[in-house]
Amino acid sequence: MNLQQALDILKSKGYKYTGKRERMVQIFSREDRYLTPKEVLGEMQEDYPGLSVDTVYRNLSLFEDLGIVEGTEWEGERRYRLHCGGDPHHHHLICKECGRTRSLNVCPMNAILGEPEDFTITGHKFEIFGYCKDCEAVSKNEGNCTHS
Amino acid sequence: MNLQQALDILKSKGYKYTGKRERMVQIFSREDRYLTPKEVLGEMQEDYPGLSVDTVYRNLSLFEDLGIVEGTEWEGERRYRLHCGGDPHHHHLICKECGRTRSLNVCPMNAILGEPEDFTITGHKFEIFGYCKDCEAVSKNEGNCTHS
DNA sequence: GCTACAAAACGGAATAATTCCGTTTTACAA
DNA sequence: TTGTAAAACGGAATTATTCCGTTTTGTAGC
C-alpha cells in the first residue's frame, strides 16, 4: 500500500482527516519498515512537540483496524508497518535490528488443505526473522550483548 | 517434550533443582497449552501462596533459554507452553481462547530455497490462529465482545 | 550429617508500556 | 457560520516486567 491509498482509506471510511493522522501515515510511508510506538511518537513530536502518547496509541489501533498498518512483535516489543495488502497476499523476511522487510512470495497456507476439522481459522502468521546485510555487521561488533 | 524430559534438562544442565521449578514444569506438562505468566503465577500460588512474581518471570525466562518452554504472544499477551522439540520440527494451530494447540506437520521453511542473499536467517514463526470447537461456541455467545 | 557458598527466591520498589477519563479543541456537515 | 460528535489532550491509573539488596536453600565437599 502506498501513501495515497492509505490516506484514501482514512478519508473514505468517514474518520476525521487530521494533520496528525496524515503525518503519522506519512511517517510509515517514508520509513517503510516496522516501527515501535515509541519511534512513531518520537518522529511525530518533531512536528508536534508534546504530542500525547495516547494519540499515537489510539491512532495505531485505529490504523490497524482499518488495515492501514499491520502489527507484529519481536523481542518483547510491539511494532507496526504500513500494511502491504492490496498487493497479492505475502509474507516477510524481517530484520530484527532495523525493522526493514523483504517480501516472500510464498504463503504456507496454500499447503494447508481446506479447513481442519473442529477448528475455525481466523488468521495466520508466517515471518522469517534475522539480520539484513547492513545490520549483521553491527550485531557482530556487539558481541554477546543482548541489544535492545 | 514430556514431563520427565523437561525435568532431566533442569537436572543435567546444572541448575538447582527446586520444588518450585519442578512444580512449574508440572503445570506446563499437565495443562499442555499456552499459558500467560499470570495464569502460571495463579496455579503456582495454589501450592506456594505469596510466591513472588519475579520467581515466575525468572524461571519462565530460564525455561525458554533451556528450551523447556516456548513462547509466543497474541492479543497483546505473552504466552508459554511446554516446548514440543525433540519430535520432528513442526508448527501449530492455536486456539486464541483456551491456548490449546494442534500440530501441523508442514514447515514452510522447506519451500524457502537456501539462504536469501544479503540476509541471515535466525528464526521463523508460522502459526495459525483461530478457535477450537469448544471455544467457538463460547465466542459466538459473546457476540461482539472483545473478550480479554 | 555438617558447613560453606553460590544460586534461587523474596518482596518491595522502579521502570515502562498501555489505557482510561474528564476536559478542551477541532473537522466537517448542515 | 454554527453545532456537534469525534479527536486530541494530559495527567493519572493500570498492568506487565525488571531490578536490587537481603534472606533462604540446594548441593558439593568434608
pLDDT of A43-52, one tens digit each? 999 999 989 9
B145 pLDDT tier (thresholds 50, 70, 90)? very low
Whole-angstrom distance, CA of residue B75 vs CA of residue A129: 20
Whole-angstrom distance, CA of residue B127 vs CA of residue B103: 10
A115 pLDDT tier (thresholds 50, 70, 90)? confident
Query: How does DSSP assign B17-80, residue by residue?
Result: --HHHHHHHHHHHHH-S-B-HHHHHHHHHHHSTT--HHHHHHHHHHHHHHTSEEEEEETTEEEE
Given a cut of 60, is residue A28 above it in pLDDT? Answer: yes
SS3 state at A148 = coil
Partners of residue B96 in chain A, C-beta under 8 Å: 122
| Residue A60: how many other CB atoms lie within 10 Å | 21
Judge whether A85 is closer than 8 Å to chain B, CB to CB.
no
Is there a contact between B131 and A122 if contact means CB atoms under 8 Å apart? Answer: yes
**Greater confidence, A130 or B117?**
A130
The pTM of this model reads 0.89
Judge whether B100 is closer than 8 Å to chain A, CB to CB.
no
**Greater confidence, B50 or A148?**
B50
Q: What's the pLDDT tens digit per position in A53-112?
A: 999 999 999 999 999 999 999 998 999 999 997 668 899 999 999 999 999 988 999 888
Residue nearest to nucleotide D6 (CA to C1'): A16
Q: What's the pLDDT tens digit per position in B26-82?
A: 999 999 999 999 999 999 999 999 899 999 999 999 999 999 999 999 998 999 999
Query: How does DSSP assign A53-77, residue by residue?
Result: HHHHHHHHHHHHHHTSEEEEEETTE
**What does the pLDDT read at residue B148?**
28
Nearest to B44 by CA among B66, B59, B63, B65: B59
Q: Is A107 annotated as a binding residue?
A: no
User: Of A60, A119, A136, A138, which to mutate for an interface test with B (greatest number of B Cβ within 10 Å)?
Assistant: A119
Is there a contact between B116 and A108 if contact means CB atoms under 8 Å apart? Answer: no
> Residue A116 carries which side chain, given as an amino acid letter?
P
A146 pLDDT tier (thresholds 50, 70, 90)? very low
**Greater confidence, B147 or A5?**
A5
Round the average pLDDT of chain A to a whole number and report it. 89
Count the residues in chain A: 148
Going along chain B from its start, the domains and CATH numbers come out as 3-82 (1.10.10.10), 91-141 (3.30.1490.190)
Nearest to B122 among A112, A116, A130 (CB): A130
Is any atom of strand D within 7 angstroms of residue B57's beta carbon? yes
B110 pLDDT tier (thresholds 50, 70, 90)? confident
**What does the pLDDT read at residue A139?**
60
**What does the pLDDT read at residue B147?**
31
**What does the pLDDT read at residue A82?**
96
Owner of C-alpha cell 555487521: A137
